[in-house]
Chains A and B, each alone.
Chain A
Amino acid sequence: MLKSSTTWLLVAKRLGIALITLVIVSFAVFFATQLLPGDVAQILLGQAATPEAVAGLREAMGLNEPAILRFLHWLTGLATGDLGISYVNHMEISNLIAGRLANSLKLAGVVAALSTPVALCLGILASMWRGTLLDRTISILTIAVISVPEFMIATLAVLIFAVWLGWLPALSYGVDVDSLGAILRAYALPVITLSFVVSAQMIRMTRAAMIETINTPYVEMALLKGASRTRMVLVHALPNALGPIANAVALSLSYLVGGVIIVETVFNYPGVAKLMVDGVATRDLPLIQSCAMIFCFSYLSLTTLADMIAILSNPRLRR
């Protein structure tokens, strides 16, 4: 399918909006963390510090500059990969984050690879056999998963797999991940928990997207001319629902961002989210800002991707 220039214009416009949003978000993140009552230099040096030392540190950290200048500094730093230095252990934040980010991405990647095919199959099946026992079971289960907090799914998974069945270790990311079995067991619970959360969203959205397509006159026509239900759904409806489904997949994957925060904390998984939650406990603001921007960036990319798929696949959105 050849896309007209107006389509690409729309895509470019959506990208531009995403970029502006990113700037506004970074603005919000930066200034939210500036609300901290008290003087950062004073906090860092402790109550016993002399006023001269505090003033010196303020000067060295550039705290005397106006906030907007510091924001611009911070933003250019972010763009060039200079994330600043941690208040707590005085290490380069980029070093702190690098390994953790790889861990988080690994977790997210495994979850996405695992839950997408399962969720798509279940969602399409539910829409194909709409109103049957299968559909109702799936609907009730997904509603149940969506309406409870992520940490509850996590605790439930621990209860079932670690406490009652005894298959997996509870609440521990084993440091001795030397064998394949150990790695699998360490990953299992976080992956299971996140997969449940993400799949539930994805199944619901896929089902809704498919049903919308199935309700169109041309699919009904296929049924009337005698096509089987399977043929009607898979051959007539599915190709046209691919766009909305891809959109649903990208949107559901953005739920990973929130889920990862809880799951990494529950299971003590050494990812970015755990780093950030620890940073909140020690009030390590540069670290929190950087982690927050990583999460916002991934979230925005996924929602933007979802919108762009929607634009590219649906001619009506191009006006």
Chain B
Amino acid sequence: MTLPLRLSRARGTSAPRQRTYVFNWAGRIGLAIIVMWCAVAIIGQWFTPYPVGKIVDWNFFGPVSAKYWMGTDYLGRDIFSRVMMGARYTVGIALAAVTLACALGVILGMIAAVMGGWFDTIVSRLLDAFNGIPSLLFGLVVVAAVGSSIPVLILTLTAIYMPGSYRFARALAVNINTMDFVTVARARGEATPYLILREIFPNIVGSVLADLGLRFVFIVLVLSGLSFLGLGVQPPNADWGALVRENIEGLSYGAPAVIFPSLAIASLTISVNMFIDNLPTRIRDRSE
């Protein structure tokens, strides 16, 4: 754990901090693909070549052609348009869930680390217990009970990944909490909120962001898994996992309708991994 020391030295001094981070090519490619999918998720709606739900071709499981760039699905709908629209669900839901999970987890983790005592023990024990439920299974049980809708999906995914985020943030915060500058701040008589916001948080934010990226990948995987089982985003809407499920019949013909949504998922998750793995060590100084 050398990061907190280094960062803490940078803090407080008014000298301009060096802000230029150098990314290598693998990181740049990863970032480019992430940005592309985010852009598709936000504005893709207005650029789909065909209406998403419209049957454009009588030929189901059609091949790749100049008219239909990714072929057509089991009803003869344009896959390219559906993948563009699917980005909105996959990226949107995963992003919302990961933001919620990390925000809650990090805040709770920092509070637990700073307060310690019974609060720390109880929260840690409870959340560890939740870690004892396999993630996909948790999703299955909740969806079986309350049915699937987008808010339910977001909250379920948040609940699945919040404990991990909590544990990660708490471990980092506990280390920072023993540093001299925190002790000094305590001795100054600063209140707990100040300690958390001004002393602890700035020193763990880099690692937390890297962790957020990894968790995003897991959430995308579980979300696609749920959708693939038919329990995620419900028809007529479809995220990428649901697109694979819809068209799984076409697998025996090697239809592009199965392959392209799968490729979309893979490109997103692999590029996030590539980006995180190649972050400059200054940002990504993980405790591993």
Contacts and interface: CB of A to CB of B under 8 A. Distances in A.
Interface of A: 17, 20-22, 24-25, 28-29, 32-37, 143-144, 146-152, 155-156, 158-159, 162-164, 170-171, 254, 257-258, 261-262, 265-266, 276-277, 279-281, 283, 285, 288, 292, 295-296, 299-300, 303
26 contacts: A20-B125, A32-B142, A32-B145, A34-B145, A36-B145, A37-B146, A143-B273, A143-B277, A148-B266, A149-B241, A149-B265, A151-B228, A152-B266, A158-B252, A163-B254, A164-B254, A171-B248, A171-B251, A257-B137, A258-B134, A261-B137, A279-B144, A280-B143, A283-B144, A288-B144, A292-B137
Contact of A280 (B144, B248, B277): B144
A36 B144 CA distance: 8
A258 B137 contact: yes
A258 B160 CA distance: 13
B224 interface: yes
B208 to A, nearest CB: 21
A158 B258 CA distance: 12
B130 interface: yes
B132 A299 contact: yes
Identify whether the interface residues of A are mostly helix, strand, loop, or mixed.
helix
B252 A163 contact: yes
Contacts of B270: 143-144, 147-148
Give the interface centre of B135, B229, B231, B266 by most chain A CB atoms within 10 Å: B229
Interface string B61-85: 0000000000000000000000000
B141 A265 contact: no
Q: Is the interface of B mostly helix, strand, loop or mixed?
A: helix
Interface string B128-151: 111011111100111111100000
Contacts of A20: 125, 129
A261 B136 contact: yes
A155 B258 contact: yes
A283 B141 CA distance: 10
Interface of B: 125-126, 128-130, 132-137, 140-146, 217, 221, 224-225, 228-231, 241, 244, 248, 251-254, 258-259, 262, 265-266, 269-270, 272-273, 277
Contact of B266 (A147, A257, A295): A147
Contacts of B251: 155, 158-159, 163, 170-171
Contacts of A36: 145-146
Given A36-B146, A148-B270, A170-B252, A25 B137 contact: no
A310 to B, nearest CB: 16
A147 B241 contact: no
A33 B144 contact: yes
A269 to B, nearest CB: 14
Contact of A25 (B133, B143, B266): B133
Given A155-B262, A170-B252, A150 B133 contact: no
B141 to A, nearest CB: 5
Given A151-B224, A152-B262, A170-B251, A296 B134 contact: yes
A214 to B, nearest CB: 16
Contacts of B126: 24
Contacts of B259: 159
Most chain A CB within 10 A, of B126, B140, B224, is at B140
A262 B254 contact: no
Nearest to B217: A147
Nearest to B231: A280
B26 to A, nearest CB: 10
Nearest to B268: A147
A25 B132 contact: yes
Given A36-B146, A164-B254, A155 B248 contact: yes
B246 to A, nearest CB: 13
A36 B248 CA distance: 30
Contacts of B244: 151-152, 155
Contacts of A258: 134-137, 225
A280 B266 CA distance: 27
Contacts of B136: 258, 261-262
Contact of A159 (B228, B229, B254): B254
Contacts of A37: 146
Given A24-B129, A29-B141, 19 more contacts: A21-B132, A24-B130, A25-B129, A25-B130, A143-B273, A144-B266, A146-B273, A147-B217, A148-B262, A149-B228, A151-B225, A152-B244, A152-B266, A171-B248, A171-B251, A257-B134, A296-B133, A299-B132, A299-B133
